[in-house]
Structure 1
C-alpha cells in the first residue's frame, strides 16, 4: 500500500536510487537534502524535493507531518573537520524532531561494525548515530552493510580507479581484510521491502552478498571482469596518512571520503544476513555480475542533467573517466540581484573575456594551438547566451536564467570537464559560485588536474569577485 515517506540524505548516491525505486512503487516521497537541484531535474512521479540542512532543522517538523516512514541516509564521510561531532549533532536534531512529530518507523542505513577496540572514527560515528536515533521513541530498523558494488560507491570507485589508472597495483596491507560485498540492486531491494515488514521494536539487520572476499580477491575479480590485468603487490605501509595520500593522488574519490574509507578497511567486516534473508528472501547477485552491471551503468553517467543531456558530452565520454569529478571553485555572498548577476555572467567571452586571469586563459589556448588543436574564437553578439552557443572553445550546455550557466570544456586534455556559474537567492543576500568540474581520464587526467591546481587556487576566486564587482555598475 502506498505510503508517505521522507528520505533524509536523498541527494546521495543511495538516496537517488532509492527515491526512484520508491517512486516506481507509487509511494509519495519527500526527498530532503541540502542540495536538491539535481533531484528536482529528475522530475520523478510522486516525488517532491525539499532543501533541508539538518544542522539547522527548523523545517524538519513540518516535513514529518503525516509521514509514515523516514529513511535516514545521512552520513558525514564527506564532511571536513570533526565529522563525529557533525554526525552526532545531526542525529540529535532528527531525534528531537521525531519526538515532536513521531512517525511509524525509521529505517537507518548504517555500516557493518568491527569490535569496539578495532572501530574507526567512521564506524564509531555510525554506531553513535544509531544509538541517538533509538532515543526518539520511534521503532528504528538499522540496516548494516559493508562494501556496496554500485556506481558511486566510494569503495568500488577506489578499486576501479586503481585498476584503470595504475600499471602495477601496490595497495597497503589492508587489501587482505575480508568483507561481504553486496550489489546495490540487492541492497535497494532490502531497503524498499522493509516497508512491508514494520515492527514496534528496534531491530538490527546485516546485509551481505553471496561471497566472503578479501579486498585482494575483489581486485582480482574486478580485473577479470574489466579485462584490465595488473600485477598486484601489497606493500607493508600501515600508516594511515600514506594510504590517504595514495588514494588522493591516484583516484578521483574526494579526499575526505577516502580518509574515512581507509579507516574502515583495516579489519574484517563480515555480515551475518541470516535473519534478514529469512524475513526478505531474494536472489543475491554474484560479485562478478554486480561489477559487470556497474561498469555498464557508469558508461551512461554523463547522460544526465549535470551535463544538460548534451549529445556532444555523451559522445566524448569514455569508460576510463573517473566517476567522481575533481572540482575547484569559489563561492561568495553579494547584495547584487539575481538579474544583475545573470546579466554579467552572460558577458563571458566578450569584452571582459573570462573576468580574471585572462593571460592565463590565453596561455592555455596557445598550448592547444601549439599541439595542433586549433580553437574557435568569439561568442554570439546577443547579450544573453543560449544552449548550444559557442564561447571560444566552450559550448553552453545548461542555461537556466538567474540560476545556472554551464559550459562544456573544449580544449585538448585527458578527461571531460565543465565550467559552471551558479546563483542562489538566500533572502538577505545572493550566493554566486564559480566552479570547474573535471572527470580525469586515467593517470594522465589526474596529473593534468594536479598541474592546474596552482592556477585554480586563485583564478575562480578572482572570477567570482570580478563578476560581483561588475554588478555594482548595473
Structure 2
C-alpha cells in the first residue's frame, strides 16, 4: 500500500533522477514533473511513476501536477541558463509556492546551497538562497537542505575535480584552491532527502548538511589523485580570473565555459556547515571524502552511472529535447548504407559505444578539431563525456550531441548541440536482411538557416566524403568482429 503521493520536480536532473527510485523503494507513489516526458523514457523506473508535463515558469501547468500531492521536492535551478537566470529562479519559486498552497500540499523539500560566511556571494549561490526564501513566502512549510560540494559519479562539482585531476598533470589554479568546503557524498544527500519524510522535526527548518570532514579544494584534488593512484602537482597563480578559469575548464573537461563560470565564481566562497542540527537530527553515517570518491569511481568502473549533471542541461539556446526530424524541402541529407555480416544486436551494441573516451569510429583527430572550432565560437566543444560507456538512452548528452531517439536494434538518432547555422542530426537505422546480415543506413541531416547555413554545409562537404564512409566501414568491422 502506498504511503502517499510525492511530486519530484527536476526528475531528469542529477539528484532528482536518483531520488525517484529511493522514494519508490520506500513505498511512496511518485509523480515526476518534467518539461518533456520523453526524457524519462528508458529509465529503469519510468513504468513505476506518473508523469506530469509542464514548466514552473508556466503556472497554469502546476495545479494538475500538484493535485493530490502530499510532499513536493523542489530540485530546480538555472545554472546552465543564459540571461537573467536569477529572475527566472525567483519567478519559478513564487509560482511553485503559490500553486502548492492552493493544492493543499503539506510540505515542500528543497535542496539548496550552504550560506557562506562572507557577504560576497556568487550570483549562482545567491540565487539558490533566494529560491529558498521565495518558497518560504507561501504558507506551505519548507524543509530546506543546504549542501556544499556533492561527491558522486556524474555530479557537476565532482566531474570538474575528476576531469581536471585525470587530464592535467600540473594543475594551474587561482587562489580559490585554498577555499574550504565540506563535501558530502551523494548517497548521504539522498539519505537526508528521504529521511526528512519521516522526521516531523525537520518541517519548516533550514538544515545545513555536509560530509564528515572540512577540506580545501586543493585537498580534494589531492584526495582524488590518491584514490586513483595519480601523482599531481598544483601551482597556485594570482592572475587566473573566473572568466579565464572557465575557458580553461571548458578546454580540458566536459563542462562548457558557460556552465563552468557560475560554478567557478562560487568556489571563492567558503561553504562549511555552521549549524550541525541536521547531523544530530538524523541517524546518518556520514562518509569521508575519499570514501565517497572511491564509491563514485566504482560506479564508473561498473558502468552504473544512473544520472549525470548533463542530463539536466541542453547546451544550446533551444531548450527542447526533441525536435522531430522532418525530411522536407530544404533539408540536406547525406545517406550511406552498408550490409553487415552480424545481427542487429551487434550493430546496436557498437552504436551504443559512440562518443566519450570511445571516440567516433573514424578520424577522431578531426572530431577533436571540430570541437575546438565550436569552443572558439562559444559552443560546448567536444566535451568527451557520457553517462555510461555502453548504453545510450534518449536525453543523454554525448560529446556535442544529444540522443534524440534510441530504439533498441532499430534506430539511433543524435541531434547536434554545437554552434551551427541551422539544425543537424546524425541517424543510424538498423534493418535485418536475413538471419546473418543487417543493413545499416547512416544519414546526416542538415536544415540550414539562411545563406550561411548552405555555405557552412558545403564548407564541410569534402571532409564528410571520407569521414562518413570511414565511420560506417569501421562500424561494420567492429560489429562483425564482435
Question: TM-score of the superposition, structure 2-length normalised?
Answer: 0.70
Residue 28 of structure 1 is matched in structure 2 by: 29
Change (3 A) 1:389 1:341: farther
Change (3 A) 1:33 1:278: same
The answer as to 2:238 corresponding to 1:229 is: no
* Mapping of residues 79-118 of structure 1, within 5 Å: 79-115=81-117, 117-118=119-120
Structure 2 gaps of 5+ residues are: 354-358, 366-383, 386-397, 406-412, 426-443, 450-482
Choose the corresponding residue for 1:175, options 174, 177, 196. 177
Q: For 1:77, what is the secondary structure of its paired residue?
A: coil
Instruction: Tell me, yes or no, if the aligned pair for 1:252 and 1:324 is still in contact at 8 Å.
Output: no
The answer as to 2:330 corresponding to 1:379 is: no
Residue 69 of structure 1 is matched in structure 2 by: 71
Instruction: Measure how far apart 1:342 and its partner are.
Output: 7.5
* Mapping of residues 219-298 of structure 1, within 5 Å: 219-237=221-239, 239-272=241-274, 274-298=276-300
Change (3 A) 1:326 1:123: closer
Instruction: Tell me, yes or no, if the aligned pair for 1:99 and 1:136 is still in contact at 8 Å.
Output: yes
Residue 413 of structure 1 is matched in structure 2 by: 364
Instruction: Tell me, yes or no, if the aligned pair for 1:181 and 1:208 is still in contact at 8 Å.
Output: yes
Question: TM-score of the superposition, structure 1-length normalised?
Answer: 0.71
Instruction: Tell me, yes or no, if the aligned pair for 1:5 and 1:28 is still in contact at 8 Å.
Output: yes
Choose the corresponding residue for 1:185, options 175, 184, 187. 187
Residue 460 of structure 1 is matched in structure 2 by: 424
Instruction: Measure how far apart 1:294 and its partner are.
Output: 0.5
Deviations 1:220-272 (A, max 9, x none): 11100011211111111252211211211221123333111112111211113
Residue 435 of structure 1 is matched in structure 2 by: 415
Task: Kindly tell me the number of residue pairs found equivalent between the two proteins.
Answer: 383
Stretch deviating more after TM superposition (146-155 or 192-201): 192-201
Q: For 2:7, what is the secondary structure of its paired residue?
A: strand
Instruction: Measure how far apart 1:202 and its partner are.
Output: 2.1
Instruction: Measure how far apart 1:3 and its partner are.
Output: 2.3
Q: For 2:60, what is the secondary structure of its paired residue?
A: coil
Instruction: Tell me, yes or no, if the aligned pair for 2:422 and 2:448 is still in contact at 8 Å.
Output: no
Change (3 A) 1:420 1:260: closer
Instruction: Tell me, yes or no, if the aligned pair for 2:13 and 2:311 is still in contact at 8 Å.
Output: no
What is the distance in 2 between the residues matched to 1:288 and 1:129? 31
Instruction: Measure how far apart 1:459 and its partner are.
Output: 7.5
What is the distance in 2 between the residues matched to 1:171 and 1:305? 28
Instruction: Measure how far apart 1:116 and its partner are.
Output: 6.1
What is the distance in 1 between the residues matched to 2:307 and 2:111? 27
What is the distance in 2 between the residues matched to 1:343 and 1:2? 50
Instruction: Tell me, yes or no, if the aligned pair for 1:6 and 1:29 is still in contact at 8 Å.
Output: yes
Instruction: Tell me, yes or no, if the aligned pair for 2:299 and 2:305 is still in contact at 8 Å.
Output: no
Residue 18 of structure 2 is matched in structure 1 by: 17
Change (3 A) 1:324 1:300: farther
Stretch deviating more after TM superposition (106-115 or 269-278): 269-278
Deviations 1:31-71 (A, max 9, x none): 11224434232141632233222111322111111111010
Aligned CA RMSD, in angstroms, stands at 3.9
Instruction: Tell me, yes or no, if the aligned pair for 1:395 and 1:410 is still in contact at 8 Å.
Output: no
Deviations 1:339-394 (A, max 9, x none): x83799xx99xxx425xxxxxxxxxxxxxxxxxxxxxx73369xxxx77659xxx9
Residue 455 of structure 2 is matched in structure 1 by: none
What is the distance in 2 between the residues matched to 1:52 and 1:323? 20
